[in-house]
Amino acid sequence: MKVATTAAHIGLERVSRTGAVTVPIYQTATFRHPALGQSTGYDYSRSGNPTRQALEEGIAALEGGCRGFAYASGMAAITSLMFLFRQGDHLIVTEDLYGGSYRLFEKIFLQFGLSFSYVDTSDLAAVREAVRPNTRALFVESLTNPLLKVADIEGLSAICKEHDLLHIVDNTFLTPYLLRPFDQGADITIYSGSKYLAGHNDTVCGLVAVKDPELAERVYFHQNGVGAVLGPQDSWLTIRGMKTLTLRMDRQQENAQAIAEWLSKHPQVGKIYYPGLPDHPGHDLMKRSCKGFGAMIAFEVKRPEQINQLLMKTKLISFAESLGGVESLITFPQVQTHADIEPETLERLGINNLLLRLSVGIEDKDDLIADLAQAFEEGEHA
């Protein structure tokens, strides 16, 4: 079945007493037992809830995995996964990654004896070189936040197999519609479901899918043990959002391509990072391995003063954190999403005082371009 069909049918109860087409919100903490030693399959909502389960089955189906898991946020999902590792374990991580993941690794898990090497995961040789005897996993953003570097998941999976590493892919920017990491050899996918999957800038959630049943048992043990699960209302909202994933993504990508092409010709724009542009270093790889280029754009303005100008003067595009929803958002990664990364690292990577990140929504592309055009203009006259 194609992703669009699977997504539209998440939560559809084929065998149900009422015939409801969407899964109900089971707003209950606990479940009555029929008799001593018997269970309906549900005991307590941290351990399992039918609404959350519908969402978990949905993400597993979209990924082609054996099992899915829903958490209170993307960070809760990553935190729960980190408990798969032990003191002394080493992980290789994408260097240009979401600042919150970096903060979790460096400011929280480092003190519990895990260590992390940050490398350019679009460079297979650099990843291979970073492997140590105690390396246990590779944690890679398939399309990086915010510089949109493209990872060769198949090539990275081969390195992971060679060295017996767990291959974890943060696929937030692409979603299973554009890239299915399991088809290219990965073991676990993780999502900030708050982004494209829920899709409406109204829910914070995290999702994980696992390929192998034995590994899934371990992930479940930690989900239940750590307890950072998604509540039934937010599970329902996420299902509701995911049903239209492919429609939204098609529109968002089409808009992003048009905006990136427009920005690339604008005299006040410097570097532009969008893999749909033919001169982007990951363009050919993405064309081969993904169903599209996504809808995130990063670009540099020419002068630092233009950052504030654009953030303040865009009217349709909101100055706000997050991404992937139907409304377009613009952020300044250096001081917002990536503030926890050391200034020298940010500068070396190119996350500088000229860089803005644009999450393109489903609005009409002409309106979005007009909004950006007037924001640049007013600044030039200010």
Site residues, ligand PLP (CB under 6 A): 73-75, 98, 100-101, 141, 145, 170, 172, 192, 194, 204, 206
Q: Which residues contact 204 (CB under 8 A, 6 or more apart)?
A: 72, 73, 194, 234
Residue with tokens 């995995």: 65
Catalytic residue among 195, 243, 248, 291: 195
**Closer of 204 and 242 to ligand PLP (Cβ):** 204
Closest distance between ligand PLP and the C-beta of residue 274, in Å? 17
C-beta nearest to ligand PLP: residue: 74
What does the DSSP assignment read for 245-270? HHHHHHHHHHHHHHHHHHHHT-TTEE
Catalytic residue among 46, 103, 128, 271: 46
Closest distance between ligand PLP and the C-beta of residue 205, in Å? 7
| Rounded-to-10 torsion of CA 6, 9, 12, 15 | -50
Is 243 a residue of the active site? no
Catalytic residue among 96, 152, 170, 187: 170
**Closer of 252 and 309 to ligand PLP (Cβ):** 252
Token pair of 229, please? 């699960």
Closest distance between ligand PLP and the C-beta of residue 145, in Å? 4
Q: How far apart are CA 238 and CA 222, in angstroms?
A: 22
Token pair of 134, please? 């105690």
Catalytic residue among 52, 71, 96, 98: 98
**Closer of 157 and 171 to ligand PLP (Cβ):** 171
- CA atoms in the 13 A half-sphere facing the CB of 206: 20
**Closer of 117 and 322 to ligand PLP (Cβ):** 322
Cβ burial, residue 129 (10 Å; 0-12/13-18/19+): exposed
**Closer of 192 and 223 to ligand PLP (Cβ):** 192
C-alpha distance from residue 353 to each of 48, 114, 269, 333 (Å): 45, 32, 13, 9
Is 32 a residue of the active site? no
Is 195 a residue of the active site? yes
DSSP tag of 9? T
Closest distance between ligand PLP and the C-beta of residue 52, in Å? 16
Is 364 a residue of the active site? no
Closest distance between ligand PLP and the C-beta of residue 313, in Å? 24
**Residues acting as catalytic residues:** 46, 98, 170, 195
